Amino acid sequence: MTENRIVVAIDSQEKHRAIDLAKNISDEIFAIKVNWPLILEEGHSIISKLSAFSKVICDFKVADIPNTNRLIAEKVHKDGAFAIIAHSVVGEDSLRAISQVSDDLKLISVVSMSHPGAESFLNPLSDKLIENARKVNSYGLIAPGNNTKFISHIKALDTGMKIFSPGIGVQGGDPVDAIVAGTDYVIIGRSIYLAEKPQDVVADINGKITAALKNIPMS
C-alpha cells in the first residue's frame, strides 16, 4: 500500500470543525498541520485533541534564542505533537535546542518559503539553511511545492531528510508535480479544509499521487 503523502493544513478553523475534519480524513493523510490562527482561537489543547486522530505538525515557524525554542518545543511535545516547524535561519544552536527535547518530537526546518517575498532574503540562503538542518539531524525540510526546481535540487543533495512542500493549490503548486520532483509530503490547506467535501478532494489527490508514483522508477 502506498504511504499517504498529504499533510492537511488547518490554518483557520473553529475547534469542532477541525476535529470533525481530522476524524473524517485521518486514514487518508499523513498528518494535520496546525498554525497560529487555530491555536490563538482554541488554545494549545487543540493539539492533543487532534492528536487523537492524526499526527499533528505544529507550524509555529519558531525563530528565537535556544532557550525560548526549547520551552516551546517542550510544551508542544507535552501536548502530543508529532513535529514542530522552526526557522533554520536562526542558526544551528537554536535548532539543536529543539532537536534535543525528545526523539519523539520531530524537527522540520524551514529552508525556503513559497511566497514572493522570500526571494528577497530567505531563499538565496537555502543551501546554508539546509546545512544547518543537517547538522542537528533535522527530520525534515520545508521546500515550496510551487518551486519544483528547488525541490529537485534538495532531492539531489541526498540529505536523508524528508521534504515537506507547502504552496500547493491556492498558491499555484501542483501536488503531483511536487511529488514527481522529489518531495515526500505535500502540504495542502484551503483547497481541502474549505472544500464542500474535503474527503473527496483528499481521495482525488491521493489517486493522482498514487498513479504518478507508479511511473517513477525505483532508485
Q: What DSSP letter does each residue of 93-150 carry, written as one string? A: HHHHHHHTT-TTSEEEEE---SSGGGGGTTGGGHHHHHHHHHHTT-SEEE--TT-HHH
Phi and psi based region of residue 100 (left: phi greater than 0; alpha: psi -120 to 50; beta: remaining) = alpha
Known catalytic residues are 61
Helix, strand, or coil (residue 183): coil
The grid coordinates of residue 157 equal 543533495
Q: What does the alpha-carbon distance between residue 47 and residue 78 come to, in Å, rounded to a whole number?
A: 10
